[in-house]
Amino acid sequence: MVWKVYLLKCNDGSLYCGVAKDVEARVAVHNSGKGAKYTRSRLPVTLVAVSPDFTKREAYQFEYRVKRLPARMKCGIILTGQLMTVE
């Protein structure tokens, strides 16, 4: 099964990173107010970046590592699907 890591820009300018099989459907759930608690009070959200394909395990590991990065680095890293920093 193909999984993707996605990055959303919230209405307040903050970023939200998540994992989904169907990113478009997941964004719709976020915008309906039934997504993550973080995005519920920051609607609407806009899709900023989507990663290449991952397995489920790889996607969750990648999401964890992306969430630890500064906001200015997140978009480019998700688009390439590779972390460019040494941790």
Tens-digit pLDDT profile for residues 27-72:
999 999 999 999 999 999 999 999 989 999 999 999 999 999 898 8
Q: Is 2 helix (H, G, I), strand (E, B) or coil?
A: coil
- The pTM of this model reads 0.88
Tell me the mean pLDDT in the region 11-24: 95
Residue with tokens 């941790």, as numbered in its chain: 87
Where along the chain do its domains lie?
4-80
Q: What is the largest CA-CA distance in the chain?
A: 37
Q: Is the pLDDT of residue 75 over 90?
A: no
Q: Is 81 helix (H, G, I), strand (E, B) or coil?
A: coil
Q: Is domain 4-80 given the CATH code 3.40.1440.10 in the classification?
A: yes
pLDDT for 83: 56
Beta bridge partners of 6: 18, 50
